[in-house]
């Protein structure tokens, strides 16, 4: 196997989860209010990751915030609840948001 092909395969494997989770965020309408690197209606995913970096319980808190919505943490505009997202997808989204650098 050529080095170029191997590098392409490895890049593809490493990029797939990030892309898949962005697609999940798009699927559930998260990107109507959030972007990876800039504030829209709500904070950028990178801002969220920075705010909660290294904080114990951040993933569980974010899962609940996505599921139940909330307000006051990032301003006066409330985040709408998303109670129909499965627990598995909520955890995947929360992990993905917290992994943004």
pLDDT band at 101 (very low <50, low <70, confident <90, very high): confident
Phi, psi of 92 (to 5 degrees): -60, -45
- Alpha-helical segments (H) within 28-71: 45-52, 58-68
Closest to 22 in 3D by CA, of 34, 7, 40, 13: 34
Global pTM? 0.80
Quote the CA–CA distance of 10 and 60 in Å, as a whole number. Answer: 31
pLDDT band at 13 (very low <50, low <70, confident <90, very high): very low
- Residue 5: its pLDDT value, please? 41
Are 42 and 74 within 8 A, CB to CB?
yes
pLDDT band at 18 (very low <50, low <70, confident <90, very high): low
Query: What's the length of the chain?
Result: 101
Name which residue leads in pLDDT, 92 or 17: 92
Q: Encode pLDDT of 41-95 as tens digits.
A: 999 999 999 999 999 999 999 999 999 999 999 999 999 999 999 999 999 999 9
């Amino acid at each position: 196997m050529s080095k170029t092909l191997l590098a392409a395969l490895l890049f593809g494997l490493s990029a797939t989860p990030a892309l898949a989770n962005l697609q999940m965020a798009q699927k559930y309408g998260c990107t109507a209010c959030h972007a990876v690197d800039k504030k829209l209606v709500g904070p950028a995913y990178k801002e969220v990751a920075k705010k909660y970096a290294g904080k114990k319980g951040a993933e569980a808190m974010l899962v609940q915030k996505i599921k139940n919505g909330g307000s006051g943490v990032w301003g006066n505009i409330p985040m709408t609840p998303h109670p129909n997202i499965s627990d598995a997808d909520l955890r995947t989204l929360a992990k993905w948001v917290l992994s943004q650098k």
